[in-house]
Amino acid sequence: MSKFRLAHLGLALAALGFTAATPVIGLAPAHAAEAMRPEIGKRLQEAQALMKQGKHKDALAKLREADKVSGKTPNEAYLIDRVRAAAASQAGDYGTAADAFESLIASGKLSASERSQFSEGLIGIYMRGGELNKANEAILRQLKNGDDPKLRGYLLQNYYKQGNTAALEAELRNAEKAGRMTEDQLGMLANIQLKKNDKVGYVNTIEKLAANYPKAQYWNDLLNRVQGKPGFSGRLSVDVYRLKLANNLMKKPSEYMEMAQLVLQAKAPAEALKVIDKGYKAGALGTGPDAARHQRLKDLAEKTLAEQNKGVAALEAEYAAAKDNDGLVSLGYSLVQSGQADKGLKMMENAIKAGGLRYPDEAKLRLGEAYAAAGKKQQAINTLKGVAGKEGTAELARYWIMAINKPLA
């Protein structure tokens, strides 16, 4: 009897945007060394030569000739299937390839490493052949041997392609509980929640996207959604703008103008000037038919700041005498923005401790914002963690912490 050794053949499979496993198709040394009859060995060599020429369908025909040889040993059948798996895959005959892979996996002749490779290769073949149910079954079998993010990615993609929303959401929930959600998976979950009109769930998912994968699209969506939340207070519009400015989300002239006006109304003219200057540097202000209007707002901010600086001591005394702690919080915030961080922060802290505030959580939110503006990140985070409230303050405090921890590039 003659002995034949087949060269190793590589098989690359790509499926639905994923790259499947690349098992080595050829003879493992132990099985290649076993005796093989010439009438089979010759056809295997001929099939391999045809594959090298790119004639994969002809190679499959040659393998069918080998199949017709009677009395094949288990090893001969195994070697034929190894070559057939490669030829069929390259020929796009995924049904034949799947049968060959299944036979190889069931043969008991694969090493543990090869069995894992071929099992993953079979998944890729099922996916290429559109046999998504079989692919999913094979994936779930593989996952019993240990978690594999790549295989879970295949599974999610298959469920999505099949429109199997229930299975997709269940798998995503499991990933969420395990703390292994990728950006794409969070995006899938957000899409499902949007279709189900699950507004609360959707916002929670967008929060996670903005926190872990900070991008303008997530932040814009998040800030737009929070303002549309029932019970959101219009008093917090200025705080939404502050988050937009901190994340470089403001683009339109109207945004810079509205924010500057809101900040002036909040008696923080130094901050208004910073907003206006940013608008000028960005090219959003100072140009076009409204350039004169932009300049008038800038002039007003400068005049208001000058007046505040002249009367700040008297204003502080007036608020203190009236026990107007809300006024002191606003004045302290304005001082921080004008460069007097230590004085302003102390004024805000003392006013909040004294109590008697109309909106205590708003005051704490502003203190957190003031710490952030002063570059005191840890103090800002510590303060913002203590902000509660049902009118939007709690959400904005969380978003500030997100922006501090992972600023938008």
- What tens digit of pLDDT does each residue of 222-247 get? 999 999 888 999 999 999 999 999 99
* Cα dihedral sign, 122-124-126-131: positive
Helix (H), strand (E) counts: the chain: 21, 4
Which residue shows structure tokens 């999505």? 160
- pLDDT, one tens digit per residue, over 127-176 is 988 999 999 999 998 888 888 888 888 899 899 889 899 999 999 988 88
- Report residue 34's pLDDT band, with 50, 70 and 90 as the boundaries: low
Q: Residue 265 burial (CB < 10 Å; 0-12/13-18/19+)?
A: exposed
347, 328 Cβ separation under 8 angstroms: yes
Tens digits of residue pLDDT in 261-317:
999 999 999 999 999 999 999 999 999 999 999 999 999 999 999 999 999 999 999
Output the six-digit token pair for 76: 């001969």
Q: Which residues are CB-neighbours of 188 under 8 A, at least 6 positions away? A: 156, 160, 168, 172
Residue 199: closest CA among 225, 238, 236, 235: 225
Determine the pLDDT at residue 308.
Answer: 95
SS3 42: helix
